[in-house]
Chain A
Amino acid sequence: MTTPADVPLKRRTFLSLVFGWCSAAFALAASVAAAGRFLVPNVLYEPDRRFKALKPEEYPEGPTFLPNLRVFLFRKGNSFRAVSAVCTHLGCTVNLAASGFHCPCHGTVFNESGSVVSGPAPSPLSWFLLSLSRDGRLVIDTAQQVRPDRYLVV
């Protein structure tokens, strides 16, 4: 039934064994990879990450929270900036505080421009690209970040 250790393995048997086991391993790996890839969707039915807001002059001086985007829009005279309200630590929505932002989940404190003052967040809050549409309305692109000193001046 079993081959005793002292009988040498025939080349044909050896090659068949190698071929058989390699095929089995390949088939298994391919199946696992296909099943894993299957779980990653190709089409997303999610809202557009670019959002057309109101006209600049319709926003009051100071911060305005845009809930569906989770973004704070700041107006200072005629310059605008859009700061993400999503904490860079674990994704909770930060609250506006007297000076800066507080995260209610794990206690990170950000200053007014979104830099980390204290707490576990590894990076500052994102600033998003602001532009004007042809009909004069603000467009916020949450897919594109800008440096935290880039204001849109209208």
Chain B
Amino acid sequence: MLERLWKSFQGTRLGRSIFRVGLPGSNLERAQVAISSFLLHFQPAKVNRRALKFRTTLGLGLISLYLFLILTATGVLLMFYYVPSTARAYQDMKDLEFVVTAGLVLRNMHRWAAHLMVLCVVLHLCRVFYTAAYKPPREFNWVLGVCLFLMTLALSFTGYLLPWDQLAFWAITVGTNIAGYAPLIGKKLQFMFLGGHVVGESALIRFYVLHVLVLPAVAILFIAVHLWRVRKDGGLASPAEPQVLQEELQPAQLPLTKTYGLMELARGTTPMVGLKPEEEVFTWPNLIFRELLLFLATVAVVLVLSIAFNAPLEEMANPVHPPNPAKAPWYFLGLQELVSYSAFWGGVIVPALIVFALLLLPYLDRKRRGVGVWFSHERRLAIGVFTFCLVTAVVLTVIGTAFRGPNWSFQIPWKPAAAATEGH
């Protein structure tokens, strides 16, 4: 019935003008769907069977992308009610919670999708590391991925400032103070972020513009290039791929007397070379169907979370007193644990070193060993170092989350906390 309706629409002049290819019936048409549709051309016409297996990627990059889409959709809707002014912001949050139809669920979805996105992006980074998918020729895509990871954190940080509750106010205070510790330009940077000396109206509008326009725009550009490079760098990393994908183009080999054919300009071999026909399947419907299924699953998880749990909203911002203890969201608690030892070393030097190490990783660890294999035995050293750093980060986060009580003093979570010493 649906198919008949679709077919009759396809037959009209309007239908033909919108969709270049109809629902595919033959293999030729299946290939054409992927090649000639704007939304689908990010994918090849045929993919390796291996790419369809869930354990190859765990779907983490795609889930991150879907969460980004959910965040964009819910974020745009929230913008219709939220006014970035210190007088109104908190009231608008309360309105969304109690007055606006579906406002509560939309805000919950936005918050939980953001938390999930941080989690999925980190796991995606780990997946790419543990399957050695950053090795040549995919070095630069790893760099783009690290940039996207930082943008995810920046989007989260600028996002939870907007409700102008206690968490927001003291996070801006602490965050911009950390920026103030940067060598040479620190104090200027802090002044520029705040738009003044105190945390107030000008700081809120600055972080709002970053959150709803600047960062998403840059992120969309990076995501597009990141996805495009997955294809151009030879699809998903696989142990079977030829050792050298990017042969240098030798100008001397090209005849200078005629126009070049595309196959002469293409670099190296495509991912499909050397694959047996039975190892590859058509993207439509095999990959497309799985991708849609994953999208539905992602939306379902976010929706269930949002109906079951309300997003946190602390008391209205009080510029005089921080809450005690004043804790950042979980993904920044490792950092908070670090700055509780030293703001300069924990807040500036260590994060800068981590980012630097991540960016340089594919240029230092270049040997093409264990590509496409989980936890390859040939990469013991790299895996050991990375796992050590990862475990350290997790341990710091757990300490910051569970083992820190009032005045950031060490406490055992399952024992009753000592009474906080309140001054006033």
- Contacts A93-B322, A107-B340, A120-B346 given; 12 further ones with Cβ under 8 A? A36-B192, A39-B192, A47-B198, A90-B347, A92-B174, A92-B322, A95-B424, A97-B421, A101-B423, A102-B421, A104-B322, A106-B408
Within 8 Å by CB of B341, from A68, A91, A92, A120, lies: A120
Q: Is the CB of A104 within 8 A of B325?
A: yes
Contact status of A102 and B174, CB under 8 A, knowing A93-B322, A120-B339, A120-B342:
no
Range for the number of chain B residues in contact with chain A: 35 or more
- By a beta-carbon cutoff of 8 Å, the part of chain B in contact with chain A is 170, 173-174, 176-178, 188, 191-192, 195-198, 200, 202, 320-326, 336, 339-344, 346-347, 406-409, 421-424
Q: Does A105 contact B (CB under 8 A)?
A: yes
Task: Rank and list the top 8 A-B pairs by shortest CB-CB distance, nearest first.
Answer: A96-B423, A107-B408, A95-B423, A104-B324, A106-B340, A90-B177, A91-B177, A67-B320
- Which residues between 84 and 99 of chain A lie within 8 Å of chain B, taking CB atoms? 89-93, 95-98
Compute how far the CA of A97 lies from the CA of B322 in the bound complex, rounded to whole angstroms: 16
What is the number of contacts between chain A and chain B, taking CB atoms within 8 Å?
Answer: 92
Compute how far the CA of A36 lies from the CA of B193 in the bound complex, rounded to whole angstroms: 11
Q: Is the CB of B196 within 8 A of A90?
A: no
Compute how far the CA of A106 lies from the CA of B335 in the bound complex, rounded to whole angstroms: 11
Complex contacts, B407 vs chain A, CB 8 Å = 95, 102-104, 107
Q: Is the CB of B323 within 8 A of A104?
A: yes
Q: Is the CB of B343 within 8 A of A95?
A: no
Complex contacts, A102 vs chain B, CB 8 Å = 407, 421, 423
Within 8 Å by CB of B325, from A41, A47, A105, lies: A105
Complex contacts, B424 vs chain A, CB 8 Å = 65, 95-96
Q: Report the minimal beta-carbon distance from B152 to chain A, rounded to whole angstroms.
A: 23
Within 8 Å by CB of B196, from A41, A93, A103, lies: A41
Q: Is the CB of A44 within 8 A of B196?
A: yes
